[in-house]
Amino acid sequence: MAMKEQAPGRCPEVWRPRDAAEACRLKTAFGPDGVFTAGGTLLRTQWESGSAAMPGTLIDLTAIPGLAGIRADEGQLVIGPLVKLSELMRTEAVATAFPLLAEAVRRIGAPSVRNLATIGGNVASAVGDALPALLVHEAELLWHTGGRTETTALEDWLADPGRAQGVRLLTGIRLKRTDAEAPGGPPGRIVGAYRKLGRREAFTPSLVTIAVLGRLSEDGTLTGVRMAAGGGSAVPMRLRAAETVLEGARVTPDALVRVSEAVLAEYRPASDAFAGAEYRRTAAANLIAAEWLRLAGAGREGDGR
Amino acid sequence: MIDRTNPVPVQTGSPVFAFTLNGEPVAVTAPPSRRLLDVLRHDLLLTGTKIGCEIGRCGACMVLLDGKPVNACLTMLYQVEGRRVTTIEGIAGGKDALHGVQRAFLEEGGYQCGYCTPGMIVSAAALLAERPDPTDEEIIEALSGNLCRCTGYGGILRAVRRAAAIGREADG
C-alpha cells in the first residue's frame, strides 16, 4: 500500500476516520503506534524536542462531524474538541459566561499557534494551560468509548488520566454557566481570576497557572469557592483544602495566610531544569492569595461607589 | 481489524495534495505528514519562508492559511489540502508589487539582518487585514509569535504603524 513508502518514525502515515467509532477502531488496530491528532502543534513540539517519538500513524480527527463548534443550550455550553483556541477565545458565549477560560486560552502560545491548536488537544494532553480554568468552572468531559458515550468530571479524569480502560475519544467539553447558578443561590456577584506565570511576559510555556472563582456577597463573604493550580508538566488539580478555608469566610489577612498555607500543603507541581517544585508551590500560593486580596478589594471599592 | 471498505487513508494510490498557493492552484506529491515548511522550501523552491526554531516559537516560517497566520513548521501537508496558502512571495499579490507592510518596513528600517522579516510581514499583513487601524497593544499581541534578535522591535513597531497609515491613505 502507498502508506508504506516512508520509514516509520520519519513521516507518519495519516488516516482520517469519518466518525468517532471509526477513530476508536483505528486506534485499537494501531495501538501505541497510532496517535489521535487535530491541530498537531503539541505533537510536533514533542517530536522536535525528543520528548515523544514520532508515531507510525496519525489518526486525524478533523473530518469527524460533531466535534467542531460550540453549542449553547439550557444554561450550558458544549465545546467541540476541534474548536481552535483562536475561535474559542473570540466566542461571545465563552467570553461572557466563562471569562476565565477565555483569558486562559488567550495566554496559550501566540496567535499563529492558536490558529492551529485545538481545545481538545489542550485538554487531552492533561497538562494544558486551559485546564485550571476549566477545573474551577467544573467542566465535564464527554467521551466516545467504542459503542457509547460517557461523561466524566474533568477533575476525576485528571486525577488519573491513564486509568480508563480501552480506547476513548474526547467528543465534548461541557460547562455549566455560572449565571445559571444564580437563581436560589446566595446573593452576590461572581468573581474570578486566572494567572499564568512563565519565564517571559508573553508566549511562554507556563511555570505556574492558577484559577480562582467564587461568589462574593455584599458583606464580603465568599461562597462557592473554587481554586485550581497547574503549569509546566504538572497535571492541574483542584485545591480542595484551600477552598475550605475561604468557603463562607471573608478575605482577611489571617484567612489569606491560611489559604496560602493550604496551597503549599496540597499543591503538587513538577520540577524541571528551570524551576523547582518548591518555587512553583510558593508562586502558586502567592498568586492565589494575591488574587483573592485583589478580588475582595475590588468588591469593597465597588460597594463604596 | 480495520474496516477498509470505509475509505479512511488520506493517501492511497496517488499521494497528491492540491491546494491554492499564492492564488495559483498547485498539486504536490509528498507524504501527507510532510511539513508545509519543507514542501514550500524544498519541493516548491519558495525560500522566502524561513527555517528557525522548528517548534512554532520564532515565527520565521509564518504563512497564511485561509488568510490566518500559522507556523509552516507546525503545519503538515495534509492539513492544507483544498485550502489557501499565502507565503511572503505572494503577500503583495503581484510579482513586482510591494504590500503596504513591505513598503513600510523599507521606509522605517523595520529590519536588520532580515531573517525574521518575512514572518514579521506575514503576521503584520494578517493583523492589518483584520484590524486596519490597530492599537500598539494589538500590534504587539499580533507579533508575539515572531522573534527578532536584532532590532529590539522598535523599528518593527514603527513599520507596522506606518503600514496602517499607508492603508488609511490608500482608503482615503
CB contact under 8 A, B55 and A202: no
| Domain end point (choices B90, B125, B151) | B90
Task: Give the closest-approach CA distance of A273 to chain B in angstroms.
Answer: 19
Per-residue pLDDT at A223 exceeds 90: yes
Q: Find the CB nearest B33 among A11, A22, A115.
A: A11
Q: Are residues A144 and A214 in the same domain?
A: no
CB contact under 8 A, B144 and A202: yes
The domain boundary, picked from A116, A144, A177, lies at A177
CATH of the domain at A240: 3.30.390.50
> CB B6 to CB A22 under 8 A?
yes
User: Cα(first)–Cα(last) distance of chain B, in Å?
Assistant: 64
- Whether residue B79 is found in the same domain as residue B117: no
Whether B172 has a pLDDT exceeding 60, the answer reads yes
Q: What value does the mean pLDDT take over residues A202-207?
A: 83
For residue A98, give Cα distances in angstroms to A72, A130, A177, A217, A252: 12, 12, 7, 20, 27
CA quadruple A190, A136, A109, A93: dihedral sign? negative
pLDDT of residue A5: 38
Write down the residue that cell numbers 482615503 correspond to. Answer: B172
Give pLDDT tens digits for B97-128.
899 999 999 999 999 999 999 999 999 999 99
Cross-chain Cβ contact B2/A29 below 8 Å: yes
What ipTM does the predicted assembly reach? 0.91
Domain with residue A120: its CATH number is 3.30.465.10
Cα–Cα distance measured from residue A93 to residue A287, given in angstroms and rounded to the nearest whole number: 27
Please identify, among A129, A151, A177, the residue that sits at the C-terminal boundary of a domain.
A177
Query: Are A287 and A214 found together in one domain?
Result: yes
Output A5 or A113, whichever has higher pLDDT.
A113
By the 8 A CB rule, do A171 and A149 touch? Answer: yes
Question: Does A183 score more than 60 pLDDT?
Answer: no
> A140 and A206, same structural domain?
no
A290 shares its domain with A203: yes
pLDDT digits (tens, 9 = 90+) for A125-179: 999 999 999 999 999 999 999 778 899 999 999 998 877 778 999 999 999 976 5
Cβ B35 vs Cβ A116: under 8 Å: no
Same-domain status, A117 and A90: yes
Which of B56, B90, B124 lies at the terminal end of a domain, its last residue? B90
Q: Nearest C-alpha of chain A: how many angstroms from B56?
A: 7
Q: Which residue in B141, B128, B58 sits closest to A86, CA to CA?
A: B141
**Final residue belonging to a domain, choices B63, B90, B117:** B90
CA distance A199 to A260: 22
Is B1's CB within 8 Å of A112's CB?
A: no
E-state strands within chain B: 16-21, 24-29, 62-65, 68-71, 84-86
Residues paired with residue A151 on neighbouring β-strands, in sequence order: A142
Q: Chain A: residue nearest B63 by CA?
A: A112
Q: Do B145 and A203 touch (CB under 8 A)?
A: yes
Per the structure, the complete domain to which residue B37 belongs is given by: 16-90
Q: In this predicted structure, which of A52-66, A91-105, A152-166 has the lowest mean pLDDT?
A: A152-166
Confidence of residue A10 (pLDDT cuts 50, 70, 90): low
Helix (H) or strand (E) holding B102: helix B100-108
If asked whether residues A191 and A273 sit together in one domain, one would say yes
- Sort out which chain B residues have CB atoms less than 8 A from A107's CB and list them: none
Residue range of the domain that includes A157: 70-177
Nearest one of A194, A181, A218 to A299, comparing CA atoms? A218
Say which of A29, A41, A116 has its CB closest to residue B1. A29
The reply to whether A32 falls in a domain is no
Domain boundary among A143, A177, A211: A177
